[in-house]
Amino acid sequence: MRHPFGVNGPLTSPADFAGKTFRAPHSDTAYALFRAFGAEPADLPGDAMGQAIAAKSLAGMESSYIWAPSSLPASVAAANVTFFPKVNTLVIRSSVLDGLSDRQRAAVTEAAASTAVWVRSHRPSEIEAGRAFCSYGGAVVYAEDGDIAALERAAQPVYAMLEKDPQVKGMIERIRELKKNVPAAQIAIPCDGRKSTGTLAKSSASAKFPEGVYRAEIPMRRFLDYKVNPAWARDNSGISTLTFKAGTWRHHVGGSPDSTDCYGPYTVTGGKVVLSFREVLCGTAGGDLFSAGWRFDGGELRFVDVEAGQSGEESLMYVLFGSEPWKKIG
């Protein structure tokens, strides 16, 4: 289910959307809905979202509890404001389907049916997903009844637009009738996993830090054991290479293109190294990656007392940089 996730607070009424940029994948219907709330929807692919966050022009985005931490880990979700479900559909051309043998067509049909069964049995409930979202550093709130009513009133012109199509109008009527006869869906319970994380201290003073090229392998299972968001676990597990050179750092995950590397300057102060990124990188507006003490022995670098520089990334930073020694390879 897709909810509003606010950057600086909940988005629960038309007033919260009015005149603000709201990130959503392009869809004529969805954009009509968000414009009815007074927002200006935008796709914001790649680093465009980080730039919008840096410019403080982004109010929030429509997303799910599972995926929101990848983009806005400390955002605030409105659990009882649900725009629509998101359904991924695999489509096959008629010409291709007609060219399949009976056996091939049966295999495709069986696979589709089995996938639907698997999804229904493995999909987390809204309560479970909301609890996990808060554990990653987000927050969940409820909109007031008056605010929900205001959103529903604002959406009425969009219903009128859709109902111009007789087939769509019939579907909407069936959904409304179904809603009367099924139990109300469970929604996530309010929670707040946000932590106030100040900017990490910087210093131009240089202490001796063992520059070089280091490598470590962190299995996905470890990320998941520490409750790291599965999307982050997928993107960061495996073999990582960390390079320190001339006051800069660069992190590369094996199998990923170099264009996705995170990099920036590092400083050393008070016996701690602080890795920062001053550009719009890695889906964020920049800032500190982490700070840590370190030990270097036998050709291995180990970070200790790892402190995340971004709210909601504490477990990710520990597992990725502090749970394994980094072996010097260059």
Tokens of 94: 């008629």
pLDDT of residue 79: 93
Beta carbons of 108 and 39 less than 8 angstroms apart: no
pLDDT tens for the chain, 330 residues long, are: 999 999 989 999 999 999 999 999 999 999 999 999 999 999 998 778 878 887 888 999 999 998 887 778 789 999 999 999 988 888 889 999 999 999 999 999 999 999 989 988 888 889 889 988 988 888 999 998 899 999 999 999 999 999 999 999 999 999 999 988 887 777 888 888 876 433 333 333 345 899 999 999 999 998 888 888 898 899 999 999 999 999 999 999 988 888 788 888 999 987 889 998 866 556 555 678 889 889 898 899 999 888 888 877 888 888 899 889 999 998
Beta carbons of 24 and 62 less than 8 angstroms apart: yes
Instruction: Write down the architecture of domain 212-328 according to CATH.
Output: Beta Barrel (2.40)
pLDDT of residue 286: 64
Beta carbons of 259 and 241 less than 8 angstroms apart: no
Q: Tell me which long-range contacts 318-323 makes (C-beta under 8 A, separation of at least 24).
A: 318/226, 319/218, 319/222, 319/223, 319/226, 319/228, 320/218, 320/223, 320/236, 320/240, 321/242, 321/290, 321/292, 322/292, 323/218, 323/222
CA angle in degrees (0–180, nearest 5) for 78-81-84: 125
Helix residue spans in 48-124 (DSSP H): 48-54, 68-71, 94-98, 102-122
Q: How far apart are CA 322 and CA 307, in angstroms?
A: 10
Instruction: Provide the residue ranges of all domains of the chain, joining segments of one domain with +.
Output: 3-192, 212-328
Instruction: Write down the architecture of domain 3-192 according to CATH.
Output: 3-Layer(aba) Sandwich (3.40)
